[in-house]
């Protein structure tokens, strides 16, 4: 019996794969990658003779049957998923049939598009005394949200919101953030295909105009929406600094300067 690895391919740039993920790709006998979201470039380290299949035209049963059949043939199998397998990745739906077939499973994490989008936009999702909380969520579409998890309810915390799978629902994003008390001038960043070589785009705006700007740029898929009171801090004339690096703050690796001088 072989083994199935669920490997996070990261946000798009193959170089953002983990070293472990890259090594497993090089060792794999079979790779099933989510071609609608994962660049085939992520399979470039596969060895000669590795069976490589794009799953974008497959349903859940076809995907799990493919994984099971390869593993039952004694092969080392990779399911290559966008971002991190544990976040909007249908991980458990795929793992359960493998468990039922007695196939060993392991998960390798990946860089999520929220982190990649903040990185490419040079934004921090948290800042001292501004917000220390990041909410990863999506807007209700065909899949309903659980009770208490509507965007309007979550947005009442006025923390950082990383909104997945919702670029076609920007009007609803605007409406729900306004209902939660956000200003029309609240800064918004939309990143399309974060880290994809020659394809990523950064759209900056406010809650009132971001929809029009994305429409003008024809951004209608594979985009991360970030709403946060921290956005634009790079241009702020002043802000609260982290205590960790404050010269007058002691921790177990460094004494405060005023303590040393005493």
What are the residue ranges spanned by the domains of the chain? 3-108, 113-235
What is the predicted pLDDT for the residue at 261? 55
Percent over 70 (pLDDT), the chain: 94
Question: What is the token pair recorded at 168?
Answer: 């076609």
Q: Looking at residues 145-158, what average pLDDT do you find?
A: 95
What is the predicted pLDDT for the residue at 141? 81
Higher local confidence (pLDDT), 152 or 240? 152
Percent over 90 (pLDDT), the chain: 84
Say whether pLDDT at 250 is over 80: no
Say whether pLDDT at 197 is over 60: yes
Q: Which fold has domain 113-235?
A: 3.30.950
**Side-chain half-sphere of 23: how many Cα atoms within 13 Å?**
4
Say whether pLDDT at 177 is over 70: yes
Architecture of 3-108 per CATH? 3-Layer(aba) Sandwich (3.40)
Q: Looking at residues 122-137, what average pLDDT do you find?
A: 97
Give the alpha-carbon dihedral of 212, 218, 220, 226, to 10 degrees: -50
Element (H, E) at 259: helix 257-261
Residues paired with residue 205 on neighbouring β-strands, in sequence order: 188
Question: What is the token pair recorded at 181?
Answer: 């008390």
Among residues 102, 114, 92, 109, the alpha carbon closest in space to that of 68 is found at: 102
Q: Looking at residues 2-24, what average pLDDT do you find?
A: 96
* Whole-angstrom distance, CA of residue 33 vs CA of residue 66: 12
* Whole-angstrom distance, CA of residue 189 vs CA of residue 121: 8
Higher local confidence (pLDDT), 38 or 24? 24
- pLDDT category of residue 252 using cuts at 50, 70 and 90: low
Identical topology for domains 3-108 and 113-235: no
- pLDDT category of residue 36 using cuts at 50, 70 and 90: confident
């Amino acid at each position: 019996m072989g083994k199935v690895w669920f490997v996070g391919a990261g946000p798009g740039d193959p170089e953002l794969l983990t070293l472990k993920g890259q090594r497993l790709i090089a060792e794999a006998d079979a790779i099933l990658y989510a071609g609608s979201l994962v660049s085939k470039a992520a399979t470039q380290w596969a060895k000669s003779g590795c069976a490589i299949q794009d799953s974008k035209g497959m349903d859940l049963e076809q995907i799990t049957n493919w994984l099971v059949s390869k593993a039952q043939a004694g092969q080392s199998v990779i399911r290559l998923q966008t971002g991190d397998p544990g976040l909007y990745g249908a991980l458990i739906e795929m793992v359960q049939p493998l468990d039922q077939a007695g196939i060993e499973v392991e998960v390798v994490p990946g860089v999520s598009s929220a982190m990649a989008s903040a990185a490419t936009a040079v934004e921090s999702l948290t800042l001292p005394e501004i917000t220390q909380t990041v909410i990863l969520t999506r807007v209700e579409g065909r899949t309903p949200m659980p009770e208490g998890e509507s965007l309007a309810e979550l947005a009442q915390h006025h923390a950082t919101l990383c909104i997945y799978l919702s670029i076609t629902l920007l009007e609803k994003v605007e409406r729900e953030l306004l209902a939660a008390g956000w200003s029309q001038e609240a800064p918004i960043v939309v990143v399309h295909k974060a880290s994809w070589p020659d394809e990523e785009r950064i759209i900056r705006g406010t809650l009132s105009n971001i929809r029009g700007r994305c429409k003008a740029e024809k951004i209608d898929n594979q985009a991360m929406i970030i709403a946060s009171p921290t956005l634009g801090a790079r241009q702020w004339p002043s802000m609260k600094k982290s205590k960790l690096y404050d010269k007058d703050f002691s921790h177990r690796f460094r004494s405060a300067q005023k303590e040393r001088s005493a």
